[in-house]
Amino acid sequence: MNGALGHLTVLDLTHWLAGPYCTKLFAAYGATVIKVERPGTGDPVRSAGPFYEGREDRERSIPFLWLNTGKKSVTLDLKTAAGRELALALAERADVVVESFRPGVLDRLGLGWEALHARNPRCVLTSISSFGQTGPYRDWAATDMTLYALAGLMHCTGDPDRPPLRSGPAVAQYTGALGAYMGTLMALFARSRTGRGQHVDVSLHEAAIENIEIQMVDQLHLGRNVKRNGDNHVLFPWQLQPCKDGQAAVVGGPVRHWLAAAPMFEEPRLLQDPYRRMDGRMAHRGEVAELLAPWLMRHTRHEVYHEGQRRRLAFGYLASMDEALESPQLAARGFFEEIDHPVVGAQRYAGAPFRPQATPPRQTRAPLLGEHADEVLCELLGRSRAEVEAWRAEGVV
Protein backbone atom coordinates (compact mmCIF):
# COMPACT_ATOMS: atom_id res chain seq x y z
CA MET A 1 0.00 0.00 0.00
CA ASN A 2 1.44 3.35 -1.08
CA GLY A 3 0.29 5.91 1.47
CA ALA A 4 -2.61 5.95 3.90
CA LEU A 5 -5.16 5.85 1.06
CA GLY A 6 -3.14 3.67 -1.29
CA HIS A 7 -5.92 1.07 -1.40
CA LEU A 8 -8.41 3.51 -2.93
CA THR A 9 -9.27 4.37 -6.53
CA VAL A 10 -10.93 7.75 -7.07
CA LEU A 11 -12.68 8.76 -10.29
CA ASP A 12 -12.34 12.55 -10.59
CA LEU A 13 -15.11 14.22 -12.62
CA THR A 14 -14.35 17.67 -11.22
CA HIS A 15 -13.09 20.94 -12.66
CA TRP A 16 -11.98 24.43 -11.58
CA LEU A 17 -11.02 24.70 -7.88
CA ALA A 18 -12.97 22.93 -5.12
CA GLY A 19 -13.30 19.48 -6.67
CA PRO A 20 -9.71 19.28 -7.93
CA TYR A 21 -8.34 20.34 -4.53
CA CYS A 22 -10.44 17.64 -2.83
CA THR A 23 -9.12 14.93 -5.16
CA LYS A 24 -5.58 16.32 -4.97
CA LEU A 25 -5.64 15.48 -1.26
CA PHE A 26 -6.64 11.89 -2.06
CA ALA A 27 -3.72 11.64 -4.48
CA ALA A 28 -1.29 13.14 -1.92
CA TYR A 29 -2.12 10.31 0.49
CA GLY A 30 -1.66 7.55 -2.05
CA ALA A 31 -5.01 7.03 -3.76
CA THR A 32 -5.07 6.34 -7.50
CA VAL A 33 -6.94 9.37 -8.85
CA ILE A 34 -8.17 9.14 -12.45
CA LYS A 35 -9.12 12.58 -13.73
CA VAL A 36 -11.60 12.60 -16.60
CA GLU A 37 -11.20 15.62 -18.86
CA ARG A 38 -12.84 16.89 -22.01
CA PRO A 39 -10.99 15.84 -25.20
CA GLY A 40 -8.97 18.65 -26.74
CA THR A 41 -9.47 21.25 -24.00
CA GLY A 42 -9.46 19.43 -20.68
CA ASP A 43 -10.39 20.94 -17.33
CA PRO A 44 -11.39 24.61 -17.95
CA VAL A 45 -8.76 25.73 -15.47
CA ARG A 46 -6.13 24.62 -18.02
CA SER A 47 -7.19 27.70 -20.00
CA ALA A 48 -7.04 30.01 -16.99
CA GLY A 49 -3.93 31.95 -16.09
CA PRO A 50 -1.54 32.80 -14.87
CA PHE A 51 0.58 30.69 -17.20
CA TYR A 52 4.19 29.70 -16.56
CA GLU A 53 6.53 32.26 -18.15
CA GLY A 54 3.45 34.04 -19.54
CA ARG A 55 3.03 31.59 -22.43
CA GLU A 56 -0.60 30.50 -22.75
CA ASP A 57 -0.79 26.74 -23.07
CA ARG A 58 -3.00 24.08 -21.47
CA GLU A 59 0.09 22.40 -19.98
CA ARG A 60 1.41 25.65 -18.48
CA SER A 61 -1.59 26.75 -16.39
CA ILE A 62 -0.21 27.29 -12.90
CA PRO A 63 -3.59 26.75 -11.17
CA PHE A 64 -3.99 23.42 -12.99
CA LEU A 65 -0.47 22.32 -12.08
CA TRP A 66 -1.10 23.10 -8.40
CA LEU A 67 -4.56 21.57 -8.12
CA ASN A 68 -3.94 18.31 -9.96
CA THR A 69 -0.68 16.90 -8.66
CA GLY A 70 -0.46 13.12 -8.52
CA LYS A 71 -3.40 12.37 -10.82
CA LYS A 72 -3.79 10.36 -14.03
CA SER A 73 -5.54 12.13 -16.93
CA VAL A 74 -7.98 10.40 -19.27
CA THR A 75 -9.98 12.29 -21.88
CA LEU A 76 -13.59 11.20 -22.42
CA ASP A 77 -16.47 12.93 -24.20
CA LEU A 78 -19.29 12.27 -21.75
CA LYS A 79 -21.84 13.47 -24.29
CA THR A 80 -21.21 10.34 -26.37
CA ALA A 81 -22.64 6.93 -25.52
CA ALA A 82 -19.17 5.35 -25.70
CA GLY A 83 -17.70 8.00 -23.39
CA ARG A 84 -20.47 7.54 -20.84
CA GLU A 85 -20.09 3.77 -20.90
CA LEU A 86 -16.34 4.05 -20.34
CA ALA A 87 -16.96 6.42 -17.43
CA LEU A 88 -19.41 3.94 -15.90
CA ALA A 89 -16.89 1.14 -16.37
CA LEU A 90 -14.30 3.23 -14.50
CA ALA A 91 -16.83 4.02 -11.76
CA GLU A 92 -17.48 0.27 -11.45
CA ARG A 93 -13.85 -0.15 -10.38
CA ALA A 94 -13.70 2.97 -8.20
CA ASP A 95 -14.15 3.37 -4.48
CA VAL A 96 -15.06 7.04 -4.86
CA VAL A 97 -16.45 9.27 -7.60
CA VAL A 98 -16.14 13.03 -7.04
CA GLU A 99 -18.03 15.39 -9.35
CA SER A 100 -18.63 19.14 -9.52
CA PHE A 101 -21.20 19.54 -12.28
CA ARG A 102 -24.32 21.57 -11.67
CA PRO A 103 -27.02 19.49 -9.93
CA GLY A 104 -28.88 17.32 -12.42
CA VAL A 105 -26.16 17.24 -15.08
CA LEU A 106 -24.76 13.88 -13.97
CA ASP A 107 -28.28 12.39 -13.99
CA ARG A 108 -28.88 13.69 -17.53
CA LEU A 109 -25.64 12.06 -18.62
CA GLY A 110 -26.77 8.75 -17.14
CA LEU A 111 -23.97 8.87 -14.57
CA GLY A 112 -25.94 9.98 -11.49
CA TRP A 113 -26.29 8.33 -8.11
CA GLU A 114 -28.85 5.73 -9.17
CA ALA A 115 -26.83 4.63 -12.19
CA LEU A 116 -23.54 4.53 -10.28
CA HIS A 117 -25.03 2.74 -7.30
CA ALA A 118 -26.64 0.13 -9.55
CA ARG A 119 -23.26 -0.64 -11.16
CA ASN A 120 -21.19 -0.37 -7.98
CA PRO A 121 -23.09 -0.44 -4.65
CA ARG A 122 -19.84 0.09 -2.71
CA CYS A 123 -18.99 3.33 -4.50
CA VAL A 124 -19.17 6.67 -2.67
CA LEU A 125 -20.37 9.56 -4.85
CA THR A 126 -19.39 13.05 -3.65
CA SER A 127 -21.14 15.96 -5.37
CA ILE A 128 -19.73 19.47 -4.93
CA SER A 129 -21.94 22.34 -6.08
CA SER A 130 -22.56 25.99 -5.29
CA PHE A 131 -25.72 25.47 -3.23
CA GLY A 132 -26.07 21.71 -2.80
CA GLN A 133 -28.31 19.14 -4.49
CA THR A 134 -31.57 20.38 -2.95
CA GLY A 135 -33.29 23.67 -2.14
CA PRO A 136 -34.58 26.61 -4.21
CA TYR A 137 -31.06 27.75 -5.23
CA ARG A 138 -29.74 24.33 -6.28
CA ASP A 139 -29.72 25.16 -10.01
CA TRP A 140 -28.25 28.64 -9.63
CA ALA A 141 -24.68 29.57 -10.48
CA ALA A 142 -22.18 31.27 -8.16
CA THR A 143 -18.60 32.44 -8.00
CA ASP A 144 -16.51 32.58 -4.85
CA MET A 145 -17.27 36.30 -4.60
CA THR A 146 -21.01 35.56 -4.91
CA LEU A 147 -20.81 32.97 -2.16
CA TYR A 148 -18.76 35.30 0.02
CA ALA A 149 -21.46 37.95 -0.33
CA LEU A 150 -24.46 35.61 0.16
CA ALA A 151 -22.93 33.92 3.20
CA GLY A 152 -22.61 37.19 5.11
CA LEU A 153 -18.82 37.15 5.01
CA MET A 154 -18.63 40.44 3.08
CA HIS A 155 -21.07 42.00 5.53
CA CYS A 156 -18.49 41.34 8.25
CA THR A 157 -15.32 42.22 6.30
CA GLY A 158 -13.91 45.72 5.93
CA ASP A 159 -14.08 49.09 7.66
CA PRO A 160 -17.46 50.27 8.98
CA ASP A 161 -17.45 53.50 6.92
CA ARG A 162 -16.33 51.90 3.64
CA PRO A 163 -17.82 49.33 1.22
CA PRO A 164 -17.56 45.65 2.24
CA LEU A 165 -14.62 43.59 1.02
CA ARG A 166 -14.34 40.10 -0.38
CA SER A 167 -11.61 37.70 0.64
CA GLY A 168 -8.46 37.60 -1.47
CA PRO A 169 -8.25 33.77 -1.55
CA ALA A 170 -11.12 31.57 -2.76
CA VAL A 171 -12.26 30.82 0.79
CA ALA A 172 -15.53 29.07 -0.05
CA GLN A 173 -13.88 26.85 -2.66
CA TYR A 174 -11.10 25.57 -0.43
CA THR A 175 -13.25 25.27 2.70
CA GLY A 176 -15.78 23.33 0.62
CA ALA A 177 -13.01 21.13 -0.79
CA LEU A 178 -11.83 20.21 2.71
CA GLY A 179 -15.45 19.48 3.68
CA ALA A 180 -15.82 17.24 0.63
CA TYR A 181 -12.61 15.40 1.50
CA MET A 182 -13.71 14.83 5.11
CA GLY A 183 -17.26 13.90 4.10
CA THR A 184 -15.96 11.35 1.62
CA LEU A 185 -13.64 9.81 4.19
CA MET A 186 -16.59 9.61 6.59
CA ALA A 187 -18.66 7.80 3.95
CA LEU A 188 -15.78 5.38 3.36
CA PHE A 189 -15.56 4.76 7.10
CA ALA A 190 -19.29 3.98 7.16
CA ARG A 191 -18.84 1.65 4.17
CA SER A 192 -16.29 -0.38 6.13
CA ARG A 193 -19.19 -1.31 8.45
CA THR A 194 -22.13 -1.48 6.01
CA GLY A 195 -20.42 -2.55 2.78
CA ARG A 196 -22.38 0.11 0.87
CA GLY A 197 -21.48 3.53 -0.46
CA GLN A 198 -23.57 6.68 -0.12
CA HIS A 199 -24.09 10.05 -1.79
CA VAL A 200 -22.22 12.94 -0.12
CA ASP A 201 -23.79 16.35 -0.86
CA VAL A 202 -21.41 19.33 -0.47
CA SER A 203 -22.63 22.94 -0.61
CA LEU A 204 -19.99 25.62 -1.14
CA HIS A 205 -22.51 28.17 0.16
CA GLU A 206 -22.74 26.32 3.47
CA ALA A 207 -18.96 25.93 3.55
CA ALA A 208 -18.66 29.73 3.27
CA ILE A 209 -21.09 30.23 6.14
CA GLU A 210 -19.01 27.90 8.31
CA ASN A 211 -16.28 30.56 8.21
CA ILE A 212 -18.38 33.06 10.19
CA GLU A 213 -19.21 30.82 13.13
CA ILE A 214 -18.46 33.40 15.87
CA GLN A 215 -20.47 36.11 14.11
CA MET A 216 -23.34 33.63 13.75
CA VAL A 217 -23.30 33.14 17.51
CA ASP A 218 -23.74 36.88 18.00
CA GLN A 219 -26.62 36.97 15.53
CA LEU A 220 -28.43 33.74 16.44
CA HIS A 221 -27.93 33.53 20.19
CA LEU A 222 -27.34 37.10 21.33
CA GLY A 223 -29.55 38.94 18.85
CA ARG A 224 -26.76 41.34 17.91
CA ASN A 225 -26.54 42.47 14.30
CA VAL A 226 -22.90 41.98 13.29
CA LYS A 227 -21.24 45.05 11.79
CA ARG A 228 -17.95 45.62 10.01
CA ASN A 229 -15.29 46.90 12.37
CA GLY A 230 -12.11 46.65 10.30
CA ASP A 231 -9.34 45.20 12.41
CA ASN A 232 -10.77 46.61 15.64
CA HIS A 233 -11.08 43.34 17.47
CA VAL A 234 -13.48 43.16 20.40
CA LEU A 235 -10.36 42.79 22.58
CA PHE A 236 -7.64 45.43 22.66
CA PRO A 237 -4.86 45.42 21.79
CA TRP A 238 -5.48 42.52 19.44
CA GLN A 239 -4.47 43.86 16.04
CA LEU A 240 -1.65 45.15 13.87
CA GLN A 241 0.16 48.20 15.21
CA PRO A 242 2.67 50.40 13.35
CA CYS A 243 6.30 49.79 14.26
CA LYS A 244 9.76 50.85 13.01
CA ASP A 245 9.70 48.95 9.70
CA GLY A 246 6.08 48.01 9.14
CA GLN A 247 3.38 46.51 11.31
CA ALA A 248 3.45 44.03 14.17
CA ALA A 249 0.62 41.98 15.66
CA VAL A 250 0.23 42.96 19.32
CA VAL A 251 -1.95 40.82 21.56
CA GLY A 252 -3.22 41.98 24.95
CA GLY A 253 -6.45 40.23 25.86
CA PRO A 254 -7.34 39.13 29.40
CA VAL A 255 -5.54 40.53 32.45
CA ARG A 256 -3.07 37.65 32.82
CA HIS A 257 -1.89 38.14 29.22
CA TRP A 258 -1.73 41.89 29.63
CA LEU A 259 0.37 41.60 32.77
CA ALA A 260 2.92 39.66 30.73
CA ALA A 261 2.71 41.95 27.67
CA ALA A 262 2.53 45.47 29.11
CA PRO A 263 6.02 45.63 30.72
CA MET A 264 7.76 45.19 27.35
CA PHE A 265 6.44 48.60 26.22
CA GLU A 266 8.28 50.39 29.07
CA GLU A 267 5.27 52.51 29.93
CA PRO A 268 4.12 52.18 33.60
CA ARG A 269 0.70 53.72 32.91
CA LEU A 270 -0.28 50.65 30.88
CA LEU A 271 -0.40 48.67 34.14
CA GLN A 272 -2.58 51.23 35.90
CA ASP A 273 -6.33 51.69 35.77
CA PRO A 274 -8.20 52.04 33.51
CA TYR A 275 -5.72 50.38 31.12
CA ARG A 276 -4.93 47.46 33.38
CA ARG A 277 -8.39 45.96 32.83
CA MET A 278 -9.52 44.65 29.45
CA ASP A 279 -12.77 46.65 29.48
CA GLY A 280 -10.79 49.78 30.28
CA ARG A 281 -8.43 49.23 27.36
CA MET A 282 -11.38 48.58 25.04
CA ALA A 283 -12.99 51.86 26.16
CA HIS A 284 -9.76 53.83 25.67
CA ARG A 285 -8.34 52.30 22.49
CA GLY A 286 -6.84 55.51 21.18
CA GLU A 287 -5.06 56.32 24.43
CA VAL A 288 -3.60 52.81 24.71
CA ALA A 289 -2.37 52.96 21.11
CA GLU A 290 -0.59 56.26 21.87
CA LEU A 291 1.12 54.71 24.90
CA LEU A 292 2.27 51.69 22.84
CA ALA A 293 3.56 53.76 19.93
CA PRO A 294 6.91 55.11 21.26
CA TRP A 295 8.33 51.66 22.05
CA LEU A 296 6.92 50.11 18.88
CA MET A 297 8.42 52.81 16.66
CA ARG A 298 11.86 52.09 18.12
CA HIS A 299 11.65 48.38 17.26
CA THR A 300 11.36 46.35 14.07
CA ARG A 301 8.62 43.83 13.27
CA HIS A 302 10.90 40.92 14.05
CA GLU A 303 12.04 42.45 17.35
CA VAL A 304 8.42 42.94 18.44
CA TYR A 305 7.58 39.40 17.32
CA HIS A 306 10.48 37.74 19.12
CA GLU A 307 10.07 39.77 22.30
CA GLY A 308 6.39 38.88 22.49
CA GLN A 309 7.09 35.22 21.82
CA ARG A 310 9.81 35.26 24.47
CA ARG A 311 7.03 36.15 26.90
CA ARG A 312 4.95 33.25 25.49
CA LEU A 313 2.48 35.63 23.86
CA ALA A 314 1.02 35.13 20.36
CA PHE A 315 2.68 38.18 18.81
CA GLY A 316 3.41 38.25 15.10
CA TYR A 317 4.10 40.63 12.23
CA LEU A 318 2.76 41.53 8.81
CA ALA A 319 4.85 39.43 6.45
CA SER A 320 5.27 40.09 2.75
CA MET A 321 4.43 37.18 0.47
CA ASP A 322 8.14 36.52 -0.01
CA GLU A 323 8.66 36.39 3.76
CA ALA A 324 5.64 34.14 4.25
CA LEU A 325 6.80 31.62 1.64
CA GLU A 326 10.40 31.61 2.87
CA SER A 327 9.39 31.00 6.48
CA PRO A 328 12.01 28.88 8.29
CA GLN A 329 9.11 27.06 9.95
CA LEU A 330 7.74 25.87 6.59
CA ALA A 331 11.25 24.94 5.46
CA ALA A 332 11.90 22.90 8.61
CA ARG A 333 8.68 20.95 8.13
CA GLY A 334 9.21 20.38 4.42
CA PHE A 335 5.86 21.97 3.53
CA PHE A 336 6.95 22.80 -0.02
CA GLU A 337 8.01 20.02 -2.35
CA GLU A 338 9.96 20.44 -5.59
CA ILE A 339 8.35 18.48 -8.42
CA ASP A 340 9.63 18.14 -11.97
CA HIS A 341 7.25 18.51 -14.91
CA PRO A 342 8.05 17.83 -18.59
CA VAL A 343 6.78 21.25 -19.72
CA VAL A 344 7.44 23.71 -16.88
CA GLY A 345 10.40 21.94 -15.27
CA ALA A 346 11.10 21.72 -11.54
CA GLN A 347 8.84 23.93 -9.40
CA ARG A 348 7.87 24.20 -5.73
CA TYR A 349 4.37 23.10 -4.71
CA ALA A 350 2.56 23.40 -1.39
CA GLY A 351 1.91 20.23 0.59
CA ALA A 352 -1.10 19.27 2.70
CA PRO A 353 -1.68 21.06 6.04
CA PHE A 354 -1.91 17.79 7.99
CA ARG A 355 0.49 14.86 8.11
CA PRO A 356 -0.01 11.44 9.69
CA GLN A 357 3.25 10.35 11.27
CA ALA A 358 3.61 7.04 9.42
CA THR A 359 1.97 8.06 6.13
CA PRO A 360 2.82 11.69 5.34
CA PRO A 361 1.61 13.24 2.07
CA ARG A 362 3.67 12.77 -1.07
CA GLN A 363 3.12 14.54 -4.37
CA THR A 364 4.02 13.83 -7.97
CA ARG A 365 3.49 16.09 -10.96
CA ALA A 366 0.21 17.06 -12.58
CA PRO A 367 -0.65 15.05 -15.73
CA LEU A 368 -0.51 16.16 -19.32
CA LEU A 369 -3.93 16.22 -20.99
CA GLY A 370 -5.02 12.64 -21.72
CA GLU A 371 -1.58 11.32 -20.79
CA HIS A 372 -2.84 8.12 -19.17
CA ALA A 373 -5.67 7.19 -21.52
CA ASP A 374 -3.97 4.08 -22.89
CA GLU A 375 -2.78 2.97 -19.45
CA VAL A 376 -6.18 3.35 -17.79
CA LEU A 377 -8.42 2.13 -20.58
CA CYS A 378 -6.22 -0.80 -21.61
CA GLU A 379 -4.73 -1.94 -18.31
CA LEU A 380 -7.58 -1.09 -15.92
CA LEU A 381 -10.57 -1.71 -18.20
CA GLY A 382 -8.98 -4.33 -20.44
CA ARG A 383 -9.84 -2.57 -23.70
CA SER A 384 -7.56 -3.13 -26.68
CA ARG A 385 -5.27 -0.46 -28.07
CA ALA A 386 -7.14 -0.71 -31.36
CA GLU A 387 -10.38 0.18 -29.58
CA VAL A 388 -8.72 3.15 -27.87
CA GLU A 389 -7.31 4.39 -31.17
CA ALA A 390 -10.74 4.09 -32.78
CA TRP A 391 -12.32 6.09 -29.94
CA ARG A 392 -9.55 8.65 -30.27
CA ALA A 393 -10.26 9.03 -33.99
CA GLU A 394 -13.96 9.51 -33.24
CA GLY A 395 -13.24 12.18 -30.58
CA VAL A 396 -14.53 10.01 -27.72
CA VAL A 397 -11.07 9.87 -26.10
Same domain, 312 and 366: no
Torsion, CA 285, CA 287, CA 291, CA 293, rounded to 10: 70
Same domain, 52 and 157: yes
Same domain, 206 and 242: no
In this model, does residue 54 exceed pLDDT 70?
yes
Residue where a domain stops, chosen among 320, 351, 377: 320
Q: Place 396 in a pLDDT band, splitting at 50, 70 and 90.
A: very high
Q: List the Cα angle 115/117/119 in 5-degree steps.
A: 70
- Domain for residue 230, yes or no? no
Bigger pLDDT: 355 or 234? 355
In this model, does residue 21 exceed pLDDT 80?
yes
User: What is the arithmetic mean of pLDDT over 3-12?
Assistant: 97
| CB neighbour burial string for 143-169, b if at least 16 within 10 angstroms, e if fewer | ebebbbbbbbbbbbeeeeeeeeebeee
pLDDT digits (tens, 9 = 90+) for 133-182: 999 999 999 999 999 999 888 888 888 889 988 888 899 999 999 999 99
In this model, does residue 214 exceed pLDDT 80?
no
Distance of alpha carbon 222 from alpha carbon 215, whole angstroms:
10
CB atoms within 10 A of CB 49: 12
In this model, does residue 373 exceed pLDDT 90?
yes
User: What is the arithmetic mean of pLDDT over 7-33?
Assistant: 98
Distance of alpha carbon 157 from alpha carbon 161, whole angstroms:
11
- Domain for residue 127, yes or no? yes
In this model, does residue 52 exceed pLDDT 70?
yes
In this model, does residue 335 exceed pLDDT 70?
yes
pLDDT digits (tens, 9 = 90+) for 22-50: 999 999 999 999 999 999 999 999 999 89
Range of the domain at 314: 238-320
User: What is the arithmetic mean of pLDDT over 380-388?
Assistant: 97
Bigger pLDDT: 157 or 390? 390
Same domain, 184 and 244: no
At 296 the pLDDT is: 98
At 367 the pLDDT is: 98
In this model, does residue 226 exceed pLDDT 80?
no
Which of 66, 189, 210, 41 is closest to 124 using CA atoms? 189
User: What is the arithmetic mean of pLDDT over 265-286?
Assistant: 94
- Domain for residue 223, yes or no? no
In this model, does residue 210 exceed pLDDT 90?
no
> 72 - beta bridge partners?
34
Highest mean pLDDT among 1-15, 190-204, 251-265: 190-204
At 348 the pLDDT is: 96
Residue where a domain stops, chosen among 269, 293, 320: 320
At 167 the pLDDT is: 82
246 phi, psi to nearest 5 deg: 155, -130
336 exposed, middle or buried (CB, 10 Å; 0-12, 13-18, 19+)?
Answer: middle
Same domain, 76 and 205: yes
Same domain, 130 and 173: yes
Same domain, 198 and 248: no
In this model, does residue 235 exceed pLDDT 90?
no
At 310 the pLDDT is: 96
| CATH value at residue 37 | 3.40.50.10540
**Percent above pLDDT 70 for the chain:** 97
Question: Three-state SS for 269?
Answer: helix
User: What is the arithmetic mean of pLDDT over 243-266?
Assistant: 94
- Domain for residue 216, yes or no? no
Q: How many domains does one find in the chain?
A: 2
Residue where a domain stops, chosen among 320, 349, 365: 320
User: What is the arithmetic mean of pLDDT over 343-352?
Assistant: 96
Which of 243, 301, 232, 288 is closest to 262 using CA atoms? 288
Distance of alpha carbon 202 from alpha carbon 98, whole angstroms:
11
- Domain for residue 243, yes or no? yes
In this model, does residue 64 exceed pLDDT 70?
yes
- Domain for residue 3, yes or no? no
Which residues, other chains included, contact 269 with Cβ-Cβ below 8 Å and sequence gap of 6+? 275, 291
Q: Which of 145-159, 311-325, 348-362 has the lowest mean pLDDT?
A: 145-159
Q: Place 1 in a pLDDT band, splitting at 50, 70 and 90.
A: low
- Domain for residue 219, yes or no? no
User: What is the arithmetic mean of pLDDT over 61-82?
Assistant: 98
Which of 77, 62, 70 is closest to 23 using CA atoms? 70
Same domain, 370 and 313: no
> 248 - beta bridge partners?
241, 317
Q: Which of 129-143, 180-194, 195-209, 233-247 has the lowest mean pLDDT?
A: 233-247
User: What is the arithmetic mean of pLDDT over 345-352?
Assistant: 96
In this model, does residue 213 exceed pLDDT 70?
no
Same domain, 197 and 298: no
Same domain, 109 and 45: yes
- Domain for residue 1, yes or no? no
Distance of alpha carbon 388 from alpha carbon 397, whole angstroms:
7
Q: Across all residues in the chain, what is the average pLDDT? A: 94
